Structure 1
Amino acid sequence: MNVNNHTLREKAEQFHQYHIKGKPLVLVNAWDAGSAQTIQSTGAAAIATGSFSVAATHGEQDGEALPFHLVLANLARITKSVDLPVTIDIEGGYGRFMSEVKQNVLQIIECGAVGINIEDQLPNGEGLYRSAEQCLRLSAAREAAEQAGIRLFINARTDLFLQQVPEQHQEALVHEAITRSKAYAEAGASGLFVPGLQHPEWIQQLCEQSPIPVNVMVTSPEPSPNQLAALGVSRISYGPYPYLQVMEHLKALGQRILTGSYGS
């Protein structure tokens, strides 16, 4: 293992304890060692990556287009550069079958991560794994963690709310998310991640009925962490938003420099 096993176990336990309903862990997503160090310097409790941002910084598209060995190399540089617990977005696990997921998660732990996001969206981005099949994949991830002796935080992401625009969401999706949260928890998931869910009443309903902590993704200044805390959210992440904001700033800065308006 690239990091001390005892230290990794401690970080994993610490990371679990940060997930408190009504007092959420706030994660400003990083994409490489430099951004992780910057986020650590702000007083963050943990470091999380986002697959979109990691892919983009390598010049690739999201959706497992970035080769897995580069995902691992990037993760290893991040975990070596910061002292905080690190959780990584591994999209669909870079493999459909249990054996593939287990082997990949073992390598993720070897590189020093104490948490993963793993989604139920099919690799082509259209439709979701059946709940039963996704549960097998989550069980494989949990088996990998047990084999490594690490209490890995498995954040089971459901893409139910990303399959449609928010204006088309219906309460039936919330009921399906609750059903999946219960099944995923039994399969070994530590948390439920629901990117795309924005309706406050439905967020609250899900938080009340999910047996595992709920993670909401924010991609704008609103809602605030305090607003989401009041709904019972246990974890807030910002996905690609920090990377996109930094790139917009870089673009504007470059334009000012090149047109001679910078500093004038």
Structure 2
Amino acid sequence: MDITARAEKLRALHSGEMLVLPNAWDVASATVVAEAGFPAVATTSAAIAAMLGYDDGEGAPWQEMFAAAGRIARAVPVPVTIDAEAGYGLRPRELVNRLLEIEVAGCNLEDTDHRTGGLAGAEAHAEWLAAVRAAASDAGVPLVLNARVDTFLPDRGIPEPDRLAEAIRRGRLYRAAGADCVYPIGVRDRHTITALVAEVPAPINGNTSDELDLATLRAAGVARVSYGPSFYRAALANFATAARRLRS
């Protein structure tokens, strides 16, 4: 498939059966995901940055992050969506051009401002997302934009009682700006995810937790589930256990 067909396929996967994405961090892990039968591959910035020797949160140069993502996209026969963090300070058209160069079908774009450590202004971020959407439309490729909403992260400056209402407000703004999916990262309970599905007119990306297994997320109407660096950390933990046993 060419990149337009991959983007169209990825967008279609957000309708119907819940899309489950065990996030990959290199060609080997992406190949595992594809060969297991998953219809798309998502990357995790935290794991890729760690693999490259950098901190998450745009600590790695975008060139290295995109090079790693591009190797993944070229290696698997399914659409790839990448965690592009907050866009690395790239202007919308340049960001889209770089995404198309590495042949990915979509990306996460979060509303954390990594320079200040807090959240970007919701209206300003929505305008930026709209410009990214316009640049993709101008290029003739329907890139799938997953707008990550970071209000539930504890260090973003939003008081806990206000997080849900602010996430709904931001989710609506980002959807109106052209986001295909809204990702309120860090939601851990059924009430909150159900409210988001009901109040934000977009496919919702959820995460599993002690209270939210796949069946519960599916029943709540969640369209997409991702795991971030969970599988990368599990793989390292298994390796560490094996290394310690070997040493002993």
> Which runs of 5 or more structure 2 residues have no equivalent in the other structure?
none
- SS of 1:160's equivalent in the other structure is coil
Contact 1:79 1:112 in 2 (8 A): yes
Indicate yes or no: 2:198 matched with 1:202: no
Question: What do residues 140-187 of structure 1 show as CA deviations (whole Å, max 9, x unaligned)?
Answer: 21122112211111000010000359xx732x3222211111111111
1:180-219 paired onto structure 2 within 5 Å: 180-218=170-208
Of residues 18, 21, 42, the one that matches 1:27 is: 21
Q: Distance in 2 between matches of 1:106 and 1:90?
A: 13
After superposing the two structures, state which structure 1 stretch, 24-33 or 144-153, moved more.
144-153
- Deviant stretches of 4+, over 3 Å: none
Q: Could you tell me which residue of structure 2 aligns to residue 81 of structure 1?
A: 75
Taking structure 1 as reference, are residues 8 and 53 closer, same or farther at Cα in structure 2, changes over 3 Å only?
same
How far residue 258 of structure 1 moved from its aligned partner, in angstroms, is 2.2
Q: Could you tell me which residue of structure 1 aligns to residue 236 of structure 2?
A: 247
How far residue 124 of structure 1 moved from its aligned partner, in angstroms, is 3.4
Query: What is the total number of aligned residue pairs between the two structures?
Result: 246
Question: What do residues 81-100 of structure 1 show as CA deviations (whole Å, max 9, x unaligned)?
Answer: 100100000111001xxx62
- SS of 2:11's equivalent in the other structure is helix
- Give the letter for the 2:15 counterpart: I
Q: Distance in 1 between matches of 2:216 and 2:116?
A: 31
> Which runs of 5 or more structure 1 residues have no equivalent in the other structure?
1-5, 260-264
Question: What do residues 203-244 of structure 1 show as CA deviations (whole Å, max 9, x unaligned)?
Answer: 1111012111110123x5763211101111010000010100
- Give the letter for the 1:209 counterpart: E
Indicate yes or no: 2:12 matched with 1:17: yes
Q: What TM-score, normalized to structure 1?
A: 0.88
Q: What TM-score, normalized to structure 2?
A: 0.93
Q: Could you tell me which residue of structure 2 aligns to residue 145 of structure 1?
A: 136
Q: Could you tell me which residue of structure 1 aligns to residue 111 of structure 2?
A: 120
Which structure has the larger Rg over C-alpha atoms? 1
Indicate yes or no: 2:45 matched with 1:54: no
